[in-house]
A and B are shown apart, each in its own frame.
Chain A
Amino acid sequence: MSLRSITMAAAVATAFVPISGAMAQDKTEIQWWHAMSGRLGDLLQQQVEQFNESQDEYEVVATYKGTYSETLNAGIAGFRAGEQPHIMQVYEVGTATMMAAKGAIKPVYQLMEEANEPFDPNAYLAAVAGYYTTTDGEMLSLPYNSSTPVLYINQQALEEAGVDPDTKPETWPEVEELLVELKENGVECPFTTAWQSWIHLENLSSYHNQPFATEENGFAGVDTELVFNGELQNKHIAMLADWADRGLFTYGGRGSDAGPLFRSGECALYTESSAGYAGVKAEAEFPFSVSSLPYWPDVEGAPYNTIIGGASLWVMSGHDDAEYVGVAKLLSFLSSPEIQAQWHQDTGYLPITNAAYELTKESGFYEENPGTDIAIIQMTGKEPTPNSKGLRLGSFDQIRAVINEELEMVWQGDKDPSAGLDEAISRGNQLLRRFEQSVE
């Protein structure tokens, strides 16, 4: 290429820059801060690009802000500095914090109303939307990525231990029998779990229609108190402590840190979020099955429904009405059956609307990928009760940290299960009172 043609090309390029710049300015920009990294982040970005291409009025800019906790902090810092995004993805444990921040958020039902955007709260799965809806039925944030805990089973490990690989234990006593058998037949680590508080206390409670906290698990007021030291929870934690002592249960760390233990084939059974499916499928070099979360058969009416984890989209206050119209359009777009069904099938998160569920059923996805519908059946099988609607607690992330700390001492054998639970409750209640004071 001659110098001249380079100069020409540069001149042409510069001539076009102002035009495309002006075009970008014509579009209303919508900021979306999220916490989805890796493959989930890519899928989110695809949704954004699809939306941006579907119309030419709005330009959505999605920005990854770190973990859920970091994203929430970034949003809070942004709000304090007057630079909050339009949409913020907040994990379910931050729900009470967001709800209490009345001046900082714009409730989704209100946003849709003001923007004249068609919006039917009943289109959403009750078990999912209920988590983000007030007791008066007003939806405050839009469910985005929701999952629920299920049981993953390494079928190869079962087979090698001489157990039928299709075994799917339904109750905890059945699980124990299986674990003992596996251990006797040479499996080093029969069981591990992710998210111990979420699965073995929060979901355990809702699954058996037991309260986790008073005031309908915090839905009815901030003067809620933790009560997860009932007979059932004590029995369950004592069982896990006993398993840890007998080498049936290997503790793999907080959050989903135990994941590698299962995906590498070291542990045979693993309780984890249904959204862990994609990761297990990608990494596991053995056949595995997905089964519903085990329950205690001696509890009347059990199993009830499990509750969700994951995050929802909160709209922040302090922006122009014209921008909010775009936000409303984006939320409608994200709730559309095609987008939701795709998201559900790609990630293992629940479809948030009934239509997306139906669409996935029709496509034959569940037959091709056995186990992917376990989560949704488990969540929607029964009408949610006040104990199984969800949890709405202030400082919840920190309460979970407290529960982690106390449970670790129980697994280590430093503390009795009941003492651990009692201590977690009294420390957690202190945090709840601090939160209550701050929002009054």
Chain B
Amino acid sequence: MEKRVSFNNRALPYLLLFPQLAVTAVFFFWPAGQALYQSFLRPDPFGLSARFVGLENFRYILTDPLYLQSFATTAIFTSLVTFVAMAVALFLAAMADQVIKGSGVYRTLIVWPYAVAPAVAGVMWMFMLQPSIGVIAFYMKQLGITWNPLLDGQDAMLLVVLASAWKQVSYNFLFFLAGMQAVPRSLIEAAAIDGAGRWRRFWTIIFPLLSPTTFFLLVINIVYAFFETFGVIHTMTSGGPGRATTTLVYKVYADGFVGQDLGSSAAQSVILMVVVSVLTVIQFRYIERRVHY
């Protein structure tokens, strides 16, 4: 039976909700409203004057083939980051779940990268993989492996995906591990008695029971790859070479803060907001149906 909490004081629930609502209003609704407003203007950088241009900013970016290209780049980047970060985390969690001795140490070590700021993560990976100063790049060169993210777009994409996914593995790991530990031991034991091997037990029992966690992480990782990977891209490739790693968020930055074109930048933010909202709605409507809580 569901337990219902009732409040005697009518004001109390609002009071309790207030901090969260205030944070949402100040850090989401207000800036989002500003972005929407700015997207209809063509201001000069210093804000001395602004002209209302209607949908001109949207027309400008949506007819720009390079903007549409950065959609494709973002789709590839996001899929790769989400897949790699979740797959590696799932693997590590499955392994850590079976560790008996010193599991605390493993867990702590795997969680560490989450505390690293994106820009720092980017610089750190650069030290390993930058062709002229990177340690790993040096040995790759000795082995005759062609590796040049400065000019090769695919290498550069691999580089930013690696660094972005690495940072997110920790977070995913925590959730997967918690999810696995919540799987009733009796189910696994019963399956083992029935003769199911480790592999089969994982895919037919543990993985399906993890589906709420997997779904939650899918949403979180997509949002992460969309918005929070800016620091990694900025420190590692600046969106290059060519435009190989210019994602939507990076383009918002480049147009707004390098080009001082705030109108176009605001319009792009609005589009980005719509894209992420649509993605989230799709996920909840279609994918959530296959999730068993």
Contact = CB atoms under 8 A, between A and B. Distances in A.
Given A101-B48, A395-B259, A254 B132 contact: no
Interface in A255-269: 257-258, 260-261, 264, 266
B135 to A, nearest CB: 14
A412 B261 contact: no
Interface residues of A, number: 41
B97 interface: no
Nearest to B64: A430
A102 B44 CA distance: 11
B132 A261 contact: yes
Interface in A390-419: 395, 397-398, 401, 404-406, 408-409, 411-412, 414
B132 A434 contact: no
Contacts of B43: 438
B258 interface: yes
Contacts of B158: none
Contacts of A434: 60, 259, 261, 264
Interface residues of B, number: 32
B130 to A, nearest CB: 8
Interface in A218-255: 251-254
B257 A73 contact: yes
Interface string B34-77: 00000000111111100100000000100010100000000000
Interface stretch (B4-12, B168-176, B222-230, B234-242): B234-242
A405 B257 CA distance: 18
A168 interface: no
A412 B241 contact: yes
Contact of A395 (B48, B150, B260): B260
Contact of A103 (B46, B60, B258, B259): B46
Contacts of A73: 257
Contacts of B46: 76, 79-80, 101, 103-104
A405 B259 contact: no
A405 B260 contact: no
B120 to A, nearest CB: 16
Interface in B138-165: 150-153
A439 interface: yes
Given A103-B48, A260-B132, A397 B259 contact: yes
A264 B263 CA distance: 44
Contact of B47 (A69, A79, A411): A79
A280 interface: no
Given A252-B150, A261-B132, A398-B258, A438 B42 contact: yes
B243 interface: yes
Interface in B202-250: 238-243
Given A412-B152, A414-B242, A401 B258 contact: yes
B142 to A, nearest CB: 13
A252 B134 CA distance: 13
Contacts of B64: 430
Nearest to A415: B242
A183 interface: no
A171 B64 CA distance: 40
B132 A411 contact: no
Given A76-B45, A252-B132, A408-B151, A431 B259 contact: yes
A401 B257 contact: no
A270 to B, nearest CB: 12
Given A395-B261, A434-B60, A438-B43, A412 B48 contact: no
A47 interface: no
Given A103-B48, A434-B60, A438-B42, A408 B258 contact: no
A12 to B, nearest CB: 44
B259 A398 contact: yes
Contacts of A14: none
A54 interface: no
Nearest to A258: B132
B151 A260 contact: no
Interface string A336-350: 000000000000000
A252 B240 CA distance: 13
A404 B239 CA distance: 11
A200 interface: no
Contacts of A55: none
B273 interface: no
Contact of B151 (A80, A264, A411): A411
A385 to B, nearest CB: 29
B32 interface: no
A103 B152 CA distance: 45
B254 interface: yes
B41 to A, nearest CB: 10
B128 interface: no
Contacts of A431: 259, 261
A253 B42 CA distance: 33
B128 to A, nearest CB: 15
Smallest CB-CB A-B distances: 9 pairs: A398-B259, A408-B241, A104-B46, A101-B46, A409-B242, A412-B151, A80-B47, A103-B48, A438-B44
Interface of B: 42-48, 51, 60, 64, 66, 132-133, 150-153, 238-243, 254-255, 257-261, 263-264
15 contacts: A76-B47, A80-B46, A97-B260, A102-B48, A266-B132, A397-B258, A397-B259, A401-B239, A401-B258, A406-B242, A408-B150, A412-B241, A431-B261, A438-B44, A438-B263
